Amino acid sequence: MQELSATDAALLLQDKPDETLLLDVREPVELQQAAVAEALHIPMNEIPERLDEIDREKTVICMCHVGGRSAHVAAYLQSQGFEKIYNLTGGIEAWARDVDAGVIRQI
């Protein structure tokens, strides 16, 4: 699985919005504290039953709080045949720090 920095993920989403999906795998309570508006939100434990909501043709960037859960989801997606998968290094924390200061940090 490949890693992608928050800055590189933001650039990819900006440059190729129709070809890129930011997948936030955090729990709903976490989203109430901090979220990226353009992300698709599917909690980690719901990924297997909601696979059909994730476009296999897109580059998928998995994100969680700091990168641990999203790394597991990225590996799972690869095992299910997804080809263009990245884990967002540092998660929403890195996004808030490096991309959008308006996103509230959770730490």
Query: What positions carry a catalytic annotation?
Result: 64
For 54-67, the three-class secondary structure string (H helix, E strand, C coil) is CCCCCEEEEECCCC
Spell out a b/e string for 69-97, using b for 16 or more CB atoms within 10 Å of the CB, else e. bbbbbbebbeeeebebbbbbbbbbbbbbe
Question: What is the Cα Rg of the chain in Å?
Answer: 12
Q: Strand, helix or coil at 19?
A: coil
